[in-house]
Homo-oligomer: A and B are copies of this chain.
Amino acid sequence: MELTFLGTSAGTPTRHRNVTGLALQHGGSRGWYLIDCGEGTQHQVQKTHHTLGQLRAIFITHVHGDHTFGLPGLLASASMAGRTEPLPLIAPPSIRTFVETTLGATDSNLGYGIEFIEAHADGFHWQDEHIDVTTAALSHRVPTVAYQVTERHLERHLLTDRLQADGVPAGPAWGELQRGQDVTLEDGRLLRSADYVTVNRSPRRVVVGGDNDTPELLSEVCRGAQVLVHESTYTQDVSDRVGPWPQHSSAEQVARFAEAAGVPNLVLTHFSSRYQFSHPSAPLIDEIEQEARRFYSGNLNLARDLETYVLDRDGHLALAPAAG
């Protein structure tokens, strides 16, 4: 499972950081999912190995423009690139109004259908062949959710000792059982796959928060998650100066929560546009990192645009080498 950060700036782009977008790749071939779509997301996608034809679904955390203004352009470009496969767009209801009105007012005719799905409904659950997705409601100026993404179909290991003990000879039945299918033998015996396979690991699970001033709301969805991606718009002192109205989190808040929740990997993103990774006079993202380290003892990462993190089957998260 791979996470590629397409933008890490809050509110407005900077010269070096775009607004929010996150590509999540998992499952066969090069299919991928997009979480949030600020303006310029399609430009960033062009700098990755992802294509708009292989995009499986879009998830929007909340309506704010720095998470959504890239939708019309990305949807139109997917069509111009020849996409015909329907595209699920999981989002708050007013995103449907925004997208449909924009495409209509600009004479943009898509060669594929958009399946609008209401993200903020109670008991939301979406799945495809590769992933299961649920949500948690967050606290922000507008209704906002976090998405919990869990992989499906873990590797099944065949219990060959048990098969031999039960007198089931090696053959096609073994393969069917391993693929999860129940099998009726020629002697009439029904073998249940669940009795003859085992799964040796937990599913990979990633939680991607939207904007949020109360990380504790993620407690439930972080159970069993190896990775939490969360906004950290400011350091605590800047947050105190700005005051509570923007309803964002500080590094300290998120770090304290992740430590208490026992999340092993934390990736911070959505840094205020005032912060830079390197600059002679602007405040540095280093300050956010240093603050978070004081309260979080796990694997801490600060996202940079176009960097990819790989979550392996053992739940280890590591930065992928830069693409050549």
Contact = CB atoms under 8 A, between A and B. Distances in A.
B39 A107 contact: no
Query: What are the 7 A-B residue pairs with the smallest beta carbon separation, nearest first?
Result: A39-B73, A98-B105, A94-B105, A101-B101, A69-B73, A12-B77, A63-B106
B42 A42 contact: no
A168 interface: no
A64 interface: yes
B105 A63 contact: yes
A137 interface: no
A76 interface: yes
Interface string A60-102: 0001110011101100110011000000000000110110011
A80 B15 contact: no
A102 B98 contact: yes
A98 B95 CA distance: 13
Most chain B CB atoms below 10 A, which of A13, A43, A68, A69: A69
Given A105-B94, A106-B94, A72 B80 contact: no
A209 interface: no
Contacts of A42: 12-13, 39
Nearest to A68: B106
Number of copies: 2
B97 A101 contact: yes
A103 B79 CA distance: 24
A236 interface: no
Given A65-B72, A69-B73, A141-B107, A13 B101 contact: no
A46 B15 contact: yes
A42 B107 CA distance: 22
Given A40-B40, A72-B69, A64 B15 contact: no
Contact of A69 (B18, B101, B106): B106
A46 B12 CA distance: 11
A162 B77 CA distance: 65
Contacts of A107: 63-64, 141-142
Given A68-B106, A69-B102, 16 more contacts: A11-B80, A12-B76, A13-B43, A18-B43, A39-B70, A39-B72, A40-B40, A63-B107, A64-B107, A69-B72, A97-B101, A97-B105, A98-B101, A98-B106, A101-B101, A101-B102
A181 interface: no
A47 interface: yes
Interface string A136-161: 00000110000000000000000000
Nearest to A77: B12
A108 interface: yes
A60 to B, nearest CB: 10
Most chain B CB atoms below 10 A, which of A18, A38, A43, A105: A105
A14 interface: yes
Nearest to A143: B107
Interface string A195-232: 00000000000000000000000000000000000000
